[in-house]
Structure 1
Amino acid sequence: MAAAAAAALLSCSCVVVYLLLGNVFASYSIIKNLPGFPGDLPFKLETGYIGVGELDEVQLFYYFIESQRSPEDDPLVLWLTGGPGCSAFSGLVYEIGPLSFDYQNSKGNIPKFLLNPYSWTKVANIIFLDQPVGTGFSYATTWQAYNMKDTLSTKQTYTFLRKWLIAHPKFLSNELYVAGDSYSGVTVPVLVQEISDGMDMGHEPRMNLKGYMLGNPLTDEDKDLNSRIRFAYLKALIEYEIYKSTKRNCKGEYINVDPSNSLCLADLQNVTRCIERINTAQILEPKCTRHSPKPTPPSWNRSIIVEQDQYHNDFLLSPTDEVSSRPWCRNYNYIYSYTWANDKTVQKALGIREGTIKQWVRCNSSLSYTKDVPTSLVYHQNLIKKGYQVLIYSGDHDMVIPYVGTKKWIKSLNLTIQYGWQPWLVDGQVAGYSVVYSQKDYHLTFATVKGGGHTAPEYKPKECLAMIFRWFAEYPL
């Protein structure tokens, strides 16, 4: 028994913090090792819950990884994966965290891990947060608390961050950035506005907010999805005659189409025939079909377009399916996260409270969620006068949220171009193109990542680490 207790202490140290300031109750564990990774973790991992909402009925789960360079000096990043409803673990293990699955050698019940040499934790402390409630391992103690919307979720995330910093005061002086991708393009600017307003009102603790980063961000659904036609033409997925006719007959509106506009509808059918076999998340990778149920035929109706984005779809495989015997598809990589995160020994190692969730899913499509922020553009505009540093990046092979739409709304901010459109390099090769805008102390860098999909770090990790390292250091990309 003594040996078992000693082993448990070696694997994790559990800490419960109660502070009168702000009525903060934080429960977290320092994780020394994880199932699937041999030996001790070569970085500091903390997991835990922080309660938000009335009577803390919402319990938000997080993973915190200290910078592997200099935790005292490096920035603190709050990372919000998109969806809404995609777990922070997805961002951690498939995008910017220090672990990735060892697909070649994961044959047993628990997938194995490799170290990611391009983790952003090499240059930053990162909190990966499961938000909104119902995402990942975050849960609520009442069914009413699962009813969520953009503005409420951001308020709860703001409360989480305040409580987390109270429980971790040594990071109060670190430069703070809020980051996210995909649907987080809607919520991150709202959250940054919330933090900024709190600073102006003297909320404690005082945060050292410096800016925010967004990858392949959804900003305004109409504008972003409308840009897909132009993107398809620029990438030679549709020919000029089809593009010209569609643009003329639809008058640039491809989402909310007048059902009596027969010429526009006919053009959109031509467009659909050209791109229906394209993987919208990365146009050069194979598009794989789901096993069940059969998807709705392609349509330019808004809801169908959103539902068919490959980034949100994981494959529903039967127990007899052999992934290794099928043609490769990126979605197969996501299966490993289900196997790992639903294993009881894994959940015990992470400190997951037993019985709080029925099953972990990478992206929860059954959330009770209302999208009450139709566009985050107004929040970007409000934040210009605050003098923040902003990085917007897009994989240039992403047709879910095409870079041409992102570039267009950035242009609408009417900022001054500080450095014009130019290539940025990694190892002597073009890694993308960038442009820097400014207005007094405010600076916005927009960068494309060549060959990147939705979202860029999953496809081009080396280039994205170089990008974020240079941006944090205020070097030109």
Structure 2
Amino acid sequence: MPRTAAAAAPPPLLLLSAAAAIAIAVAVAAPDGHLVASLPGFHGAFPSKHYSGYVTVDEGSGRRLFYYLVTSERDAAADPVVLWLNGGPGCSSLDGFVYENGPFNFERGSDTGGLPNLELNPYSWSKVSNVVYLDSPAGVGMSYSLNKSDYTTGDLKTAADAHTFLLKWFELYPEFQSNPFYMSGESFAGIYIPTLADEVGYLIGNGATDQDYDFNSFVPFAHGMGLISTELFEDASTACHGTFWGKVNSLCQEKIDRVHWELKDLNKYNILAPCYHHPEIQELEFKNSSLPSSFRKLGETEKRFPVRKRMAGRSWPLRAPVTRGRMTMWPELGGRSLPCTSDELANAWLDDEDVRAAIHAEPKSLIGSWELYTARIDYYHDTGDSMVKYHKKFTAMGYRALIYRELDTLSRSTSPRRRLRSIATGCPGRRFDIKINSS
């Protein structure tokens, strides 16, 4: 996976052939000790093979990263290998496995507090790819270290550990060395992935990138989606002179606060979805008369809904800037719980000792309870305030990029257009197509 190999043979769509990128000796096939034979809550045969377990990235400190591999249902031998990283920092990538693009839909069981029922997800990414969910860095999800000082970390150390993980992972699974390889993720993975992509190659969705682009796009996005009136948008634009974050004047701040007030009762992870919430959560108070009462009640019903309707992946909080230095972790920002989210099913399933045994994860007695977003780590953003320089570098190397966003207000959905234009100005001769899908 040396950089010289990446520069010599830039692949399409920001992916590297694992064979061209990883110079390692051929080993045995996928390890039997990592095979997942069955899972509590699922009845029947898996449509493809599942593997999970640990890869030690530092023998001296006992630093181990947990992964879950779902092989492709179509053609595992030829389909791409896709590394999936959730953001945070501090969010487990099993978030993606349970709530987003994993092989199962998790449904509430018949017993309150019991294990959920698992049903096959017809839209799983494993329909067409081999997906590797990686808990990173150590201290997140099921990943851990025997040396607690490892829980003070940052962008560069996280990228180095992920790089080591990939090298060792492909040693465990040499049959995938010739497959196309993608790196993908969301939210703060917009920081994780470019730093790791400096070693490999990447794909990002809903990624945090640059404060100027990310934070300035929220008000235009809210207006473009019809969430605020044209009058409020024009008033805010005039008062703020087109700059909606940072040091703004008092009138500008008043207009920005009004925009946030108008949107406060919406599901910030998917503006077209109702705000499902646990009945015990008191932080969410519905005071906006424009919100339909039917939306207010949906979180209180026991009606069976697909879990992906209940919670989307964690995006970086809208009003929390991504700046150089120590990052404020999700629990510090959101407290005990967050509106429109529920981790109940994932917590119940991943803290069950039978489930942990099935997926070869360490018991709670060693690594503690599973947390979707953790405050266990002390994370430092040490690669600078903007990731645009990385995107420009990769584009100059000849990679094609797919950058997408849609209905998530927390990850500023209009900023990719401005970012692409910024990258394009530094890469003359390169083609950039910007398509807006309003469906």
Letter in 1 for 2:205: G
Provide the C-alpha distance between the structure 2 equivalents of 1:141 and 1:359, rounded to a whole number of angstroms: 16
Provide the C-alpha distance between the structure 1 equivalents of 2:330 and 2:267, rounded to a whole number of angstroms: 8
**Equivalent residue for 1:243?**
233
Provide the C-alpha distance between the structure 2 equivalents of 1:281 and 1:399, rounded to a whole number of angstroms: 6
CA shift, 1:403, in A, is 2.1
**Equivalent residue for 1:257?**
247
The 3 A distance-change label for structure 1 pair 439 and 97 is farther
Letter in 2 for 1:250: C
One of 188, 191, 199 as aligned partner of 1:194: 199
Provide the C-alpha distance between the structure 2 equivalents of 1:38 and 1:278, rounded to a whole number of angstroms: 36
**Equivalent residue for 2:93?**
88
**Equivalent residue for 1:271?**
259
CA shift, 1:366, in A, is 4.3
Aligned positions, number: 375
Question: Secondary structure of the residue that 2:423 maps to in structure 1?
Answer: coil
The 3 A distance-change label for structure 1 pair 107 and 301 is closer
Provide the C-alpha distance between the structure 2 equivalents of 1:193 and 1:351, rounded to a whole number of angstroms: 31
**Equivalent residue for 1:116?**
121
Provide the C-alpha distance between the structure 2 equivalents of 1:101 and 1:218, rounded to a whole number of angstroms: 28
CA shift, 1:77, in A, is 1.1
**Equivalent residue for 1:156?**
161
The 3 A distance-change label for structure 1 pair 449 and 122 is farther
**Equivalent residue for 1:39?**
44
Letter in 2 for 1:414: A
Question: Secondary structure of the residue that 2:203 maps to in structure 1?
Answer: strand
Q: How high is the sequence identity, in percent, across the aligned residues? A: 31
Unaligned runs of 5+ in 1: 1-19, 196-210, 318-328, 417-436, 452-477
Provide the C-alpha distance between the structure 2 equivalents of 1:308 and 1:178, rounded to a whole number of angstroms: 24
One of 162, 167, 177 as aligned partner of 1:172: 177
Provide the C-alpha distance between the structure 1 equivalents of 2:266 and 2:76, rounded to a whole number of angstroms: 42
**Equivalent residue for 2:305?**
none
Provide the C-alpha distance between the structure 1 equivalents of 2:433 and 2:70, rounded to a whole number of angstroms: 26
Aligned-CA RMSD value: 3.6
Query: Within the alignment, does 1:229 sit opposite 2:219 as a pair?
Result: yes
Question: Secondary structure of the residue that 1:34 maps to in structure 2?
Answer: coil
Letter in 2 for 1:392: I
The 3 A distance-change label for structure 1 pair 247 and 108 is closer
CA shift, 1:127, in A, is 1.0
Query: For each residue in 1:28-49, what CA deviation from the matched residue of structure 2 results, as whole angstroms up to 9, or x when unmatched?
Result: 5101111000133232111111
Provide the C-alpha distance between the structure 1 equivalents of 2:138 and 2:330, rounded to a whole number of angstroms: 23
Query: For each residue in 1:34-84, what CA deviation from the matched residue of structure 2 results, as whole angstroms up to 9, or x when unmatched?
Result: 100013323211111111146253200000111111111111111111112
| Structure with the higher strand share, 1 or 2 | 1
Provide the C-alpha distance between the structure 2 equivalents of 1:125 and 1:30, rounded to a whole number of angstroms: 14
Query: Within the alignment, does 1:57 sit opposite 2:62 as a pair?
Result: yes
**Equivalent residue for 1:346?**
355
The 3 A distance-change label for structure 1 pair 76 and 56 is farther
Provide the C-alpha distance between the structure 2 equivalents of 1:287 and 1:307, rounded to a whole number of angstroms: 25
Q: Report if aligned partners of 1:67, 1:121 keep a CA contact under 8 Å in 2.
A: yes
Provide the C-alpha distance between the structure 2 equivalents of 1:190 and 1:405, rounded to a whole number of angstroms: 20
CA shift, 1:444, in A, is 6.5
Question: Secondary structure of the residue that 2:66 maps to in structure 1?
Answer: strand
Query: For each residue in 1:302-341, what CA deviation from the matched residue of structure 2 results, as whole angstroms up to 9, or x when unmatched?
Result: 469x98999x969759xxxxxxxxxxx8624x31111000
Provide the C-alpha distance between the structure 1 equivalents of 2:120 and 2:103, rounded to a whole number of angstroms: 6
Q: Report if aligned partners of 1:390, 1:445 keep a CA contact under 8 Å in 2.
A: no
Q: Report if aligned partners of 1:92, 1:128 keep a CA contact under 8 Å in 2.
A: yes
Q: Report if aligned partners of 2:52, 2:69 keep a CA contact under 8 Å in 1.
A: yes
The 3 A distance-change label for structure 1 pair 308 and 447 is farther
**Equivalent residue for 1:220?**
210
The 3 A distance-change label for structure 1 pair 269 and 173 is closer
Provide the C-alpha distance between the structure 1 equivalents of 2:102 and 2:235, rounded to a whole number of angstroms: 45
One of 345, 354, 368 as aligned partner of 2:378: 368
Letter in 2 for 1:411: R
Q: Report if aligned partners of 1:28, 1:49 keep a CA contact under 8 Å in 2.
A: no
Q: Report if aligned partners of 1:256, 1:302 keep a CA contact under 8 Å in 2.
A: no
Question: Secondary structure of the residue that 1:180 maps to in structure 2?
Answer: strand
**When the two structures are superposed, what TM-score results if normalisation uses the length of structure 2?**
0.76
The 3 A distance-change label for structure 1 pair 294 and 110 is closer
CA shift, 1:449, in A, is 6.1
The 3 A distance-change label for structure 1 pair 308 and 76 is closer
Q: Report if aligned partners of 2:211, 2:321 keep a CA contact under 8 Å in 1.
A: no
CA shift, 1:379, in A, is 0.4
Q: Report if aligned partners of 2:275, 2:340 keep a CA contact under 8 Å in 1.
A: no
Which stretch shows the higher mean deviation, 235-244 or 56-65?
Answer: 235-244
**Equivalent residue for 1:5?**
none
The 3 A distance-change label for structure 1 pair 95 and 335 is same
Q: Report if aligned partners of 2:151, 2:376 keep a CA contact under 8 Å in 1.
A: no
CA shift, 1:158, in A, is 0.7
**Equivalent residue for 1:458?**
none
Question: Secondary structure of the residue that 1:181 maps to in structure 2?
Answer: strand
Q: Report if aligned partners of 1:87, 1:363 keep a CA contact under 8 Å in 2.
A: yes
Q: Report if aligned partners of 2:50, 2:70 keep a CA contact under 8 Å in 1.
A: yes
Provide the C-alpha distance between the structure 1 equivalents of 2:257 and 2:179, rounded to a whole number of angstroms: 52
